[in-house]
Structure 1
Amino acid sequence: MKSQASKLLAEVRTFRQNHPDVRYVDLIALDIPGHFYGKRYPIEMLEKVAAGSPLKLPQNAVLLGAQGGLFKIGDYCFHDGDPDANRRLVPGTLKPVSWESQPLGQMLITSDGTEAPIEFEPREVLAKVLERLHHKGIHPVVAFELEFYLFDKKLDNGLPQFARDPLSGDADDQPNLHIERLSRFSEVLDDMAQTAKDQGIDITVITAELGPGQFEINFGHLDDGLRAADWAALFCRSTRGVALKHGYRASFMAKPYLQFPGSGMHVHVSLYDGAGNNVLAAHQQQPLRHAVAGCLELLPHCMPIFSPNHNAFRRLGGTVNAATRASWGFEDRDACVRIPDSDPRNLRIEHRLASADANPYLVLAAILVGLEHGLETKREPIAPLNEDRSSGTDFPVEMLDAVRTMQHQPVLRDKLGAEFIDVYCENKRQDHLAFQQEIHAREYRWFL
């Protein structure tokens, strides 16, 4: 503990030397819906926290709904006195914020690694899964890919408008994959990439996607699953900030346009043993098949994680590369679980079902639990799409049905934690019901 405090203190002092104009630092963590909450600390107080002073925030901040309100979930929120819970600073995440009007810093905080971690905190859920895998001698290597849309900064009666092409000034309303779009939007995209790198994120490939104003960013592979999920979370925050600075809105909303492809979160995962051997490639890739079977078995029960809101379910089916059933295949982007072509050393799965606005900590935790379950049960998967285009198993396509399917699944309750499952399902149920409590103009057009 003294060694960690010493390193944190050195990190804060180095930051202050390199950024003497920064007076405040945002201490931030991701809640259940995938939004950041936290506090803005004077830099002097941050140095005291790094040296060992307590850092406490309300425990129930993790339980916020999509719109920031609190729901009655068991004994939490309204019957527990709203207690504080300890948090700790995440080493290596203190970075400058360049998209605000005033000099600012930010740093991740978490309850994992404290004396009493919050069982339903997303980062803690993932940390427990990774710790269990490490004890079994399994070490994941992970890479995220995130799709997002650029919109015009101004809304039209609350609705998004196509991003303006900086070259012509016209709306970028033509869906295409042309690389020229990367050049036309290079100023904002380059700033997004550089800002992410300044946050310590390894940005690799940038792609113009099929939707108008839609792009994809790939991150480097990491042997630290927590850090990989940190990167995905921090990238969403910085990208939205940079977009506003350039006169755009950046959104990771799953399905902003019905007529165009939605935005997904693709996660590449390979597994290695303590000697560095690829676990999935052993014995003529039999463990790969077992891992795929486990993923597909649990996938229908994890839909509230992969599609965390009403809009995310709109993304499923009917457009390019969006699966409607739990399926797998080699080099097949129509599959939920794709096996990219690679040598045995880099053999991996690419999980393609999650929406871009899903919580990256929980998405990765659910994927890893599926892989773990498959390696334990050693079952054969259904036929890949390469052999049978109709292969696949159904999964829920509506939130309340998905929550019912998730809540009592014994493997998930065991491996993700029963307390987390109950809290998460009730959070999603209440969010969905709250969403239904507003009468849309369409209802008046249809029924008035």
Structure 2
Amino acid sequence: MKSQASTLLAEVRTFRQNHPDVRYVDLIALDIPGHFYGKRYPIEMLEKVAAGSPLKLPQNAVLLGVQGGLFKIGDYCFHDGDPDANRRLVPGTLKPVSWESQPLGQMLITSDGTEAPIEFEPREVLAKVLERLHHKGIHPVVAFELEFYLFDKKLDNGLPQFARDPLSDDTDDQPNLHIERLSRFSEVLDDMAQTAKDQGIDITVITAELGPGQFEINFGHLDDGLRAADWAALFCRSTRGVALKHGYRASFMAKPYLQFPGSGMHVHVSLYDGAGNNVLATHQQQPLRHAVAGCLELLPHCMPIFSPNHNAFRRLGGTVNAATRACWGFEDRDACVRIPDSDPRNLRIEHRLASADANPYLVLAAILVGLEHGLAAGREPIAPLNEDRSSGTDFPVEMLDAVRAMQHQPVLRDKLGAEFVDVYCENKRQDHLAFQQEIHAREYRWFL
């Protein structure tokens, strides 16, 4: 503990020396819906926290709904006195914020690693999964890919407008993969990439995707799953901020346009043993097949994680590369679980089902539990799409059905934690019901 405090204190003091104009730092963590919450601390107080002073925030901040409201979930929120819970600073995450009008810093905080971690905090859920795998001698290497849309900064009666081409001032309304779109939007994309790098994120490939104003940015592979998920979370925050600075809105909304492709979160995962051998590639790749079978078996029960809101379910099917059933395949982008072509050292799965606005900590935790379960069960998967285009098993496509499928699944309750599963399912159920408590104009057109 003394060593960690010394490291944190050195990090804060170095930051202050390098950024003497920064007076405040946002201490932030991701809640269940995938939004950041936290507090803005004077830099002097941050130094005290780094030296060992307590850092406490309300425990129930993790339970907030999509709109920030509190739901009655068991005894939480309304019958527990809204207690504080300890958090700690995440070393290496204190970085400058360049997209605000005033100099500012930000730093991740978490309850994992404290004396009483919050069982339903997303980062803590992933931390427990990774710790269990490490004890089994399994070490994941992870890389995220995130798709997002750029829109005009101004909405039209609440509806998004196509991003304007900065060269012609015309709307970028033609979906394509043309490299010229990267050039036309290079100013904002370059700033997004550089800002992410300033946050410590290893940005690699940038792609103009099929939708109008849609892009994908890939991250480097990491042997630290928590850090990989940190990168995905922080990238979403910085990208939205940079877009506003350039006169755009950036959104990771799963399906902003019905007629165009949705935005996904693709996660590459390979597994290594203590000697650095790729577990999936051993024994004629039998472990790969077993891992795929485990992922597919649990996938229908993880849908509230992969599609965390009403809009996310709209993304499934109907457009390119979005699966409608739990399926897998080699070099097949129609599959939920794709096996990219690679040498044995880099053999991995690419999990393609999650929406871009899903919680990266929980998505990775669910994927790893599927892999873990498959390796332990040792079962063969269904036929890959390369052999049978109709291969696959159904998964829920509505939130309440998905919640029912998740809540009582024994493997998830054991491996993700029963308390987390109950809290998460009730949070999603309440969010869905709250979403329904508004009469849309279409209802008046149809039924008045």
CA drift of 1:282 comes to 0.2
CA drift of 1:379 comes to 0.2
Distance 1:86 1:152 in 2: 40
1:122-148, Cα deviation, whole Å (9 max, x unpaired): 000000000000000000000000000
Secondary structure at 2:96 match in 1: strand
CA drift of 1:284 comes to 0.3
Distance 1:157 1:79 in 2: 40
5 Å-filtered alignment, 1:408-447, equals 408-447=408-447
CA drift of 1:225 comes to 0.0
CA drift of 1:407 comes to 0.1
CA drift of 1:169 comes to 0.2
Distance 1:99 1:247 in 2: 12
CA drift of 1:428 comes to 0.1
CA drift of 1:315 comes to 0.1
Distance 1:115 1:342 in 2: 42
Secondary structure at 1:69 match in 2: coil
CA drift of 1:334 comes to 0.1
Secondary structure at 1:364 match in 2: helix
CA drift of 1:56 comes to 0.0
CA drift of 1:302 comes to 0.1
CA drift of 1:405 comes to 0.3
CA drift of 1:186 comes to 0.1
1:82-140, Cα deviation, whole Å (9 max, x unpaired): 00000000000000000000000000000000000000000000000000000000000
CA drift of 1:343 comes to 0.2
Distance 2:291 2:430 in 1: 33
Distance 1:335 1:125 in 2: 27
1:397-431, Cα deviation, whole Å (9 max, x unpaired): 00000000000000000000000000000000000
TM-score, normalised with respect to structure 1 = 1.00
In the other structure, the counterpart of 1:221 is 221
Distance 2:69 2:418 in 1: 23
In the other structure, the counterpart of 1:173 is 173
In the other structure, the counterpart of 1:191 is 191
1:235-276, Cα deviation, whole Å (9 max, x unpaired): 000000000000000000000000000000000000000000
In the other structure, the counterpart of 1:103 is 103
Distance 1:344 1:447 in 2: 59
CA drift of 1:159 comes to 0.2
Distance 1:304 1:106 in 2: 29
Moved over 2 A (4+): none
1:292-336, Cα deviation, whole Å (9 max, x unpaired): 000000000000000000000000000010000000000000000
Distance 1:226 1:158 in 2: 36
Distance 1:33 1:413 in 2: 19
Secondary structure at 1:105 match in 2: strand
Where does the alignment leave 5 or more consecutive residues of structure 1 unmatched?
none
Identity of aligned residues (%): 98
Secondary structure at 2:445 match in 1: helix
CA drift of 1:441 comes to 0.6
Distance 1:240 1:406 in 2: 31
CA drift of 1:150 comes to 0.1
Distance 1:441 1:202 in 2: 44
CA drift of 1:384 comes to 0.0
Distance 1:440 1:158 in 2: 13
Distance 2:94 2:140 in 1: 25
Distance 2:16 2:441 in 1: 52
Secondary structure at 2:416 match in 1: helix
Secondary structure at 2:390 match in 1: coil
CA drift of 1:366 comes to 0.1
CA drift of 1:200 comes to 0.1
Secondary structure at 2:73 match in 1: coil
CA drift of 1:221 comes to 0.1
Distance 1:445 1:183 in 2: 43
Distance 2:282 2:94 in 1: 40
1:340-384, Cα deviation, whole Å (9 max, x unpaired): 000000000000000000000000000000000000000000000
Secondary structure at 2:160 match in 1: coil
In the other structure, the counterpart of 1:352 is 352
CA drift of 1:185 comes to 0.1
CA drift of 1:390 comes to 0.1
Where does the alignment leave 5 or more consecutive residues of structure 2 unmatched?
none
Distance 2:107 2:50 in 1: 11
CA drift of 1:176 comes to 0.4
In the other structure, the counterpart of 1:201 is 201
1:7-42, Cα deviation, whole Å (9 max, x unpaired): 000000000000000000000000000000000000
Distance 1:305 1:135 in 2: 25
Distance 1:438 1:270 in 2: 44
Distance 1:318 1:390 in 2: 16
5 Å-filtered alignment, 1:242-253, equals 242-253=242-253
